[in-house]
Structure 1
C-alpha cells in the first residue's frame, strides 16, 4: 500500500510559487530604479522630500551676498511667494514596500494659515500601522486642528502649546472610534514653515531632518522603546517592552508614541 499525503504540495505548485516570487522581486527592483531616476531627474528641485531656504530675520542682506546662497540660487529653481520672498519647491515619494495596502500618508498644505501679515505652510508625514485609516485621518485633519489653535492665540504664537493641543485633539478624535481602531495608529511628524522660522513637532519614530551642505541635521527625536526615558515612562504606566524582533511595546508596537492605537493608549500618556 502506498500512502499519499494530500497536504503535500505538488512540484508544479512549488515552481509556480518560486516564479511568482522572482517576478515580485523584479517588479520591486524596477520600481526602485524608477523612483531613483525620478529623484535624480528632479534633484535640482528637491533634496529628498522637501527643501526650503529660510530667510532669517535681520540677516537677509548678509545671506544673499554669501557664496553659499549664490550657489543655491544656481542649483535650484525658486517660486515667488509671500510678498516677493523666495521659497523652495516641495515634493514627496511614498513606497508601499511588501504590504498589500499603503498605510502611510503625506500632507502638504501650502498657505494653510495666515496670522496677521504672516503666512505659513504645513507639511506632515504619517507612518500608519494596522491599516491606513488613522494616517489618512491625520492627513485630512491635523493641520486644521493646529490652525484652529493658532487662531485662538494672541499676537505671539506659543508653538509648543499649539502643537501639544493640536496633537492631543487629533488623538482624541481618532480614539472616539474605540475598538474600531484598537490596533490602528500612525506616527505624526509635521513642520510648519514660516518666513522667519520652521517649527517641527513629532509623535512616534518618523523623522524630520534639515539638509545643510549635504549633511542631514536631525530636527526631531524618535520615540523608541529602547530609549531609557521612554522605557521608564511606558513601565511607569504599567506597560512592558519586549525584545521581539526589536524592542516593542508588549512585543507589538515598535514606537512608544502614536496617534490612535486605542488598545495601548494608557501606556502612551
Structure 2
C-alpha cells in the first residue's frame, strides 16, 4: 500500500458545467494519500474539428461533449498533462472530422502517450503510490535484455489511468485504459461502459508475457497493478514492438453505446478506483439515483459519495484510503434537473443490474 498521512485531507475540488443536454458535476478529494494525483476534464461542446472556431464550452447544444478522469500514480506529470491535452489530441485525428469517434479516441490516446514519452523521456518521477508496490525492490523493475530495448536510465514509473467519454447525439463512446470506470444508470440499473484492465485477465497476461514481462502477485513484473496505462514508460522500452504490444499498453478499449435518452437512461457515473474498490457499480448507481430523486444537486452528491467511501482510519487493506474522483453526467435532454428528479423517483424494473465488471 502507498504512503498515507496521519489524517485525511477532505478538501474537495468541485466543479459544475451545464447546457441544454447535460448537467455535469465533478469532484476530487486527496483523502489519506500524501498527495493528490487524480485529474479530470470536461468540455460540453467540442467543435467538429480543430479548425472550428466554436468554444469547447460554448452554449451550442448540437456538438460533442467530452468528459474524462485520470487516476495518476507515481506523480502527477502524466495525469495532469493528459487532462489538459487529450481532448485536442482526439480532435486532431483525421477520424474525428470524419465522424469515426471510435478510431479518433483509440488513435488519440495512443498519440498522446507517444507524445508524453518523447516529452518526458528521462523524467524521474516521485516514488510510486498504491498502483505500484513499495514492497518490490527497485531491481525487480528491470526488464529482460530484449533486442531493440532502450537503456533504462531514470526509472519512468509514473503513469495514469484514462477513462474518457464522448457524447454525440444518442451515442456515448467510452475509451478506457486502466481501472477507472464509467457506469450508466438505465432506469436505476447499472450498466458498465468499461472493463478494468488487470494483469490477471487472459488477454492482458498473454500480451505481457509475449513482450517479455511477467505477472506476480497480480501485478505486472510484481509491481504495477494495471496492465494498460498512460505513461509507465519503463514498460514500453522495446522498440521492436508496436505500442499496442508493449508490456504495459496505452491502447484504450473503446466501446459505443446507444443511449435511450427519452426512455430509461438517466445519468453516467465516472470515477477512479478509489470509488469502485469500495462500492459496487450498482451500489454507486443506487446511491446517486436516490439522492437525485430527493432533489439533491449533483455536485453535493459527488462530495457525499466520496465521504461515504472514505475510510474512517488507516484501513490495513487500503480500501477507502485512495485519492478519489467522481463525475456525474446527468441527462437533461432539453429538460431540467427537476425532470430528471421525477424520472429517478420511478421504481426500478424487476431484474438484475447489468454489470460486465468482474
TM above 0.5:
yes
Question: SS in structure 1 opposite 2:184?
Answer: strand
Distance 1:158 1:268 in 2: 26
2:121 to 155, 175, 178: 178
Residue of structure 1 equivalent to 2:224: 253
**How far off is 1:151 after superposition?**
7.0
* Local SS of the residue matching 1:256: coil
Separation of aligned partners in 2, 1:185 and 1:126: 10
Give yes or no for the alignment of 1:96 onto 2:76. no
Alignment TM-score, normalising by the size of structure 2: 0.50
Give the conservation status (yes or no) of the 8 Å contact 1:179–1:262: no
Which residue in the other structure is 2:178 paired with? 204
Q: How far, CA to CA, are the matches of 1:227 and 1:95 in structure 2? A: 30
Q: How far does the alpha carbon of each residue in 1:47-90 deviate from its partner, in whole angstroms, 9 at most, with x for none?
A: xx99xxxxxxxxxxxxxxxxxxxxxxxxxxx9653xxxxx2311
User: What's the CA shift string for 1:91-127, capped at 9, x where partnerless?
Assistant: 1121212222110101011212236994111000000
Deviation beyond 6 Å, 4+ runs, structure 1: none
The structure whose residues are more often strand, as a share, is: 2
3-state SS in 2 of match to 1:107? strand
- Within 5 Å, give how 1:24-63 maps onto structure 2: 24=7, 31=10
- Measured against aligned partners, the alpha-carbon deviations of 1:135-182 in whole angstroms (never above 9, x if no partner) come to 00000000000111157643xx12222111101111011111222151
Q: State the shift of 1:214 in Å.
A: 2.3
RCO (CA 8 Å, sep 6+): is it higher in 1 or 2? 2
User: Which has the higher Rg, Structure 1 or Structure 2?
Assistant: 1
C-alpha separation in 1, matches of 2:97 and 2:48: 12
CA distance in 2, matches of 1:171, 1:216: 31
Query: Aligned partners of 1:109, 1:79: CA distance in 2, in Å?
Result: 10
Separation (CA, whole Å) in 1 of partners of 2:18 and 2:232: 40
Q: Which of 195, 216, 224 does residue 169 from structure 2 map onto?
A: 195
Decide which structure has greater helix share.
Answer: 1
Question: Which residue is equivalent to 1:160?
Answer: 102
TM-score (norm 1): 0.65
Question: 1:110 is matched with which residue?
Answer: 44
Aligned partner of 2:128 in structure 1 is none
Aligned pairs, number: 194
Q: Alpha-carbon deviation of 1:213?
A: 2.3
Q: Name the SS of the counterpart of 1:180 in structure 2.
A: coil
Alignment partner of 2:64: what SS?
A: strand
Gap regions ≥5 residues in structure 2: 53-60, 125-155, 237-245, 250-358
Kindly state the Cα deviation for residue 268 of structure 1 after the two structures are TM-superposed: 2.4
